[in-house]
Structure 1
Amino acid sequence: MIKYIRWQATIAFLGMILIVAVLGYLAFSFTTVIVPDVGGTYVEGLAGNPKYINPILCQYNDVDRDLCALIFNGLTDANEKGEIVPDLATHWEVSDDGLTYTFHLRRDVRWHDGAAFTADDIVFTINSIRNPGFQGVPYLADLWRTVSVKRIDNYTVSFTLQEPFAPFIDYTTVGILPAHILQNIEAKALPQARFNTQPVGTGLFQVAELSARHIVLRANPHFYGARPYLSTVEFRFYPDYESIFGAYERGEIEGISRVLPEDLPKAREHQNLNLFSARLSGYTLILLNLNNPNTPFFQSKEVRQALLYALDRQKIIDQILDGQGIVVHSPIMPDSWAYYQNIKKYGYDPAQAQALLDQAGWVDSDGDGIREKEGIKLEFGLLTNDDPTRVEIVEEITRQWAAVGVKAVPQTSGVAGLVRDFLRPRRYDAILTQWQEFPPDPDPYPLWHSTQGQGEGQNYTGFANREADQIMEEARRTTDQTRRMELYHRFQQIFADEMPALLLYHPVYSYAIDKRVKGVQIAPMIDPSDRFRTITDWYVLTRRVILSEAQRQSGK
């Protein structure tokens, strides 16, 4: 009997211990949370190989631009709204005459090799671009050769312009090179420098290993800004985007740097893939040659407006692009600080298109399905490159225009010859083309000012409007962003009324990342490399912490 009582007491005691343990576990569970932890590796597939991991030479290669975005920094950076914000510089001042910009540099920046970052690096980089032997993109050299750079002290540098130019600040986003490594290499020899495959930057990540197969980046222990959770990022190189998708299915990578429209259905079927899409800077449009004597009808804004009303742009996006596009309403990007929200929008309205053409005197008097006026048929060539998707879009556009009595004859050319043989000599009727990767500053001068309507200028339509010209000129001179916004709002109103070109759609960039990788976010992108804008928030490891600690870590 005594043994039985003792046995009951033992069971009761053990039960109490178990209850306390369970209650303690539950209390711990309900007062702790899962948070990101530092460490781990993210692996992504890229199409192609690096050539110049150098911020002043990387503009021609997508892989180079992706890597430079993580390895280098500029004096400034552009946020998702296209606003220029400090990066290697803490702040800057602009002289009253708008000619001199003085930048004050951070004092806590070190290169990946531990050397201090100073004004000497700024001066070296800009002088390399200014040098006649510079081998990079012409637009960088064209701007910087009109600017003088001066070292004030170790942490102050100034730039002096020949005339006021508000978009100048955009150019200060260019990545900076280390003078202490490259100062003895001439600009013309930079493409051959070993540095291009053994880069040293100031960025979030630094190169740990590079081979023909992959590159491994390690988190920069000297980085001055927010540190990433990821300790390593590996990029593996593949011949094309189709190969990248296959690599994911074989378990070789976690990130697909670009999902092509034809692969979207397959990507959506993968339960472990998160698919991200974002609008890219730029748009596809139809340029109308306003000065071609063979197409006098393009000089009528009623005809131009009618042509846009007659286009079902959303149908083109949905049926041909698999939804990978966003209808355009303005020549200025929607996420820009200068975008005019109340701009006139042309929806698909074939009845309105026909009414405008009737009012302008273009009628089908002989019943052949083509409108005419004073013996001239409303008929013209619609040229594009030989890309199958572009050809399909042109064919759909011709069908939609035919429904309102306009005949467009599809024409094709090789990609290389489109600018050389047709756009630059202004030898075309209408062209379906694409402008992409606009800089953050919304300056429309290069594309729409009348002085750019000949020769090397990119105003290929020949659009000329005195008020629009004056607006673009003043907006370039003033550094007052509020005033520039007012001017660009008025410019967009003029553009929407005149419609010198038919804006179709913004491209959409899609990429996919395995669900194991958390914290990935997306925003409008100027360049595909902007997908790494939030990489400091990405993580693959987690840990459990007490709620109060998590709140402290999140700043709550």
Structure 2
Amino acid sequence: MKTSRRKPYLHRRLTALALAMMTVVGLSSCGVNTQSSSGANSSAAGTKVDTINYALWSNPSGRFNPQTYQTDYDRAIVFTVFSRLVVLDKDQGYQASLAKSYSWSDDYTTLNFELRKGVKWHDGKPLTAADVKFTYSAIADPDFPTGIPEFAKHLKGFEDYTEHKTDDLAGITVEDNYHVSFHFQTPYSGALTYFTDKPVLAEHIWKNTPVKDWNSATELLRNPVGTGPYKFVKFVDGQYVQLEANDDYYGGKPATKNFVFKVVNQDTVQTAISNGEVDIAEISDWNPSQISAYKDAGVNVIEETADGGQYLSLDTANPKLSDQRVRQALVYAIDRKSIVDSLLYGHGKVINADVQPDDPALPKDLNTYAYSKKKAQQLLSEAGWKDSDGDGILDKDGEKFTFQINFPTGNKIRELSAPIIQQNLKDIGIDATLNSADFNTTLAILQDSGRRYDGVLMGGTFRPRQFGGSNWWARWGSDGEAKTALDKVSSDVEEKSYLKSAADYLRIQNKAVPFVWLYSPNDGFAVRKQVKDFSPYTYETFVNVQQWYVTK
């Protein structure tokens, strides 16, 4: 086995080779805290309250399955109820969590996990390696309801399994209750990242439900059973999700008895957190007056590098958007810097590819599509769109260039950006209209692959070493040049080669414009001063949730 000391990951200058060589990460370096929380040992322990209230901007869909969830609102609940084999540390290095340790084979095609002993599901049944195999075999099933992830396609035996030539996926083997191995067809640079994003689920809970029915199994979806720090209690649609402490959690007994995710309107969240109805809320408005109001009320404001971005998804299968020049024109037409300056007050960055803004794989020579009405109009003209009747609206072959901007409610900045984008498009002769709905209704537009649309405003989370993810809804990249480039990225383990391959793919994406990249807002949290041990970092908000507590 290859062995090496762990070093910082990605833009902290970790090479992929060193990453692949990381092995036997034990309890002492584990991402979860195996000691009692400081709250439990504090002299102020007697003044603790028994509930933490955490604000969500939008209602979760109730899809609390760790493999099929598709919104950040469901993800928050999933990451609190379920556990992951590995998590990311502050330097974006991989840390064993539900796993006790892991190791790579000499050729980097086999990843071995040793699981912690004594871990129990919330219903008292023991977690075993069989649960791990069941979880990650399911995603290779051709009936997997959200589309087979790239991770599964890299496993040995994938084709035979997905074509029902065998009932056993050769790419996942179990030695005993505590040892499970993943075998890949080639070295796979994004393997560990997948585990940081998709927790393990219980075989005994889900095995009797066909995979094709996983997203319609409402009773199971809305009563999740995990191994995480908090147990599920209740989901009141549109209001809250109630959890209670898992006293047997392997990372230590949670410091707070109850955890409640409250659905709070962004217009009232400041009042809610100031009067104690909510303890923690993500910041939705960087207006200096709003930030000052928080601070004046004694509320702490935490700001960190973003792990996500906002974008306008384009239906590249839509005939009027199938021409690359038209899509490029849309990016030029939107004054994205103005959106960052006016709506985020500079607390964010304009983005030009599906990648974290400070990722070392981001090439410096990408087209930045600087705001230019002239360039946008030139490209549209080249694509045949002209105002032939002088009414101010572009047309082609007798068709007016109409464009409906669909956007979900719940994210204040995104809502405010919609009319700005609408006006930008009108300025170049596109008849743009707005259509708002609740988050899940808007998301359904993207989930229906057969449905045509113009544009959908949406947000996605970046994933280290993974590109083309399903949470960046693009009807593009599944074949041709982009697919070839993605395959090269995923198989490059050596850092120099990986960075070149990733940059090549990002250049292809940047040119093709599968969506209008808008901005990456800095993440921020408003936290009551009574909240203790809340310490989020990029990609990981709930990694130490068992340590959080609130004093009176």
Same fold flag (TM > 0.5): yes
- Verify the 8 A CA contact 2:81 2:224 in the aligned structure 1: no
TM-superposed deviation, 1:315: 1.9
Q: Distance in 1 between matches of 2:81 and 2:447?
A: 39
Contact 1:178 1:200 (8 Å CA) reproduced: yes
Q: Write the distance in 1 (CA, Å) between the matches of 2:123 and 2:388.
A: 78
Q: Does 1:274 align with 2:295?
A: no
Asked if the contact 2:350–2:520 (Cα under 8 Å) also holds between the matched residues in 1, the reply is yes
CA distance in 2, matches of 1:56, 1:465: 28
Does structure 2 retain, via aligned residues, the 8 Å contact 1:384–1:411? yes
Q: Any residues of structure 2 matched to 1:288-299 within 5 Å, and which?
A: 289=316, 292=319, 298-299=323-324
TM-score by length of 2: 0.65
Q: Which residue of 2 aligns with 1:22?
A: none
What's the RMSD between the two structures over aligned residues?
A: 5.2
CA distance change for structure 1 residues 77 and 321 in 2, over 3 Å: closer, same or farther?
Answer: same
For 2:337, the aligned partner's letter is Q
Residues 379 and 463 of structure 1: CA distance in aligned 2, closer, same or farther (over 3 Å): farther
1:19-418 to structure 2, matched below 5 A, reads 37-38=41-42, 39=45, 40-41=48-49, 43-46=52-55, 55-56=66-67, 59=69, 65-79=75-89, 84-89=94-99, 90-94=101-105, 96=107, 98=109, 100-107=110-117, 117-126=127-136, 137-139=146-148, 143=152, 146=162, 147-148=169-170, 149-161=172-184, 166-173=189-196, 174-177=198-201, 182=205, 191=217, 197=223, 199=225, 201=227, 203=228, 205-207=229-231, 215=242, 217-218=244-245, 220=247, 223-224=250-251, 231-232=255-256, 234-236=258-260, 238=262, 240-241=264-265, 247-256=272-281, 258-261=282-285, 268-270=292-294, 271-277=297-303, 279-285=306-312, 287=314, 289=316, 292=319, 298-300=323-325, 307-319=330-342, 326-336=349-359, 338-340=361-363, 343-349=366-372, 380-385=401-406, 387=408, 393=417, 395-397=419-421, 399-400=423-424, 406-412=428-434, 416=441
Alignment-derived partner of residue 31 in structure 1: none
SS in 1 for 2:487: helix
SS at match of 1:241: coil
1:48-68 per-residue CA deviation (whole Å, 9 max, x = no partner) reads 5895765346x2576653343
Assess, with a 3 A threshold, how the Cα gap between structure 1 residues 252 and 119 changes in structure 2: closer, same or farther. Answer: same
Q: How many pairs were matched up?
A: 475
Answer yes or no: is the 8 Å Cα contact 1:45–1:244 preserved in 2. no
Inter-CA distance 128–306: structure 2 relative to 1 (3 Å threshold): closer
Indicate the larger mover: 481-490 or 319-328. 319-328
Query: Are the counterparts in 1 of residues 87 and 97 from structure 2 also a CA contact under 8 Å?
Result: yes
CA distance in 1, matches of 2:220, 2:445: 34
Counterparts of 1:46 and 1:391, CA distance in 2: 18
Residues 83 and 337 of structure 1: is their aligned pair in 2 closer, same or farther, counting only changes over 3 Å? farther
Q: Structure 2: which amino acid aligns with 1:433?
A: L
1: CA distance, partners of 2:516 / 2:137: 40
Give the one of 439, 454, 461 matched to 1:437: 461
**Residue 518 of structure 2: aligned partner:** 504
Whole-angstrom CA distance in 2 between matches of 1:425 and 1:194 = 28
Task: Give % identity.
Answer: 21
- Deviation track 1:163-197 (CA, whole Å, cap 9, x = no partner) reads 77654444334322456x64985567985778964
Tell me which amino acid in the other structure corresponds to 1:235: F
CA distance in structure 2 between the aligned counterparts of 1:208 and 1:471, rounded to whole angstroms: 41
**C-alpha distance in 1 between matches for 2:508 and 2:353:** 11
Query: What is the CA distance between 1:232 and its match in structure 2?
Result: 0.8
2:78 counterpart SS class: helix
Unaligned runs of 5+ in 1: 1-34, 449-457, 543-556
**What stretches of structure 2 of length at least 5 have no aligned partner?**
1-37, 154-160, 163-168
- TM-score, length-scaled by structure 1: 0.65
Partners of 1:310 and 1:214 lie apart in 2 by: 41
Q: Cα offset for 1:152?
A: 1.1
- Does structure 1 retain, via aligned residues, the 8 Å contact 2:70–2:471? no
Secondary structure in structure 2 of the residue aligned to 1:269: helix
* Residue matched to 2:14: none
- The aligned amino acid for 1:105 is L
Report the residue type matching 1:70 in the other structure. Answer: T
8 A contact 2:425–2:432 mirrored in 1: no
Alignment check: 8 A CA contact 1:151 1:158 kept: yes
Shift of 1:106: 3.8
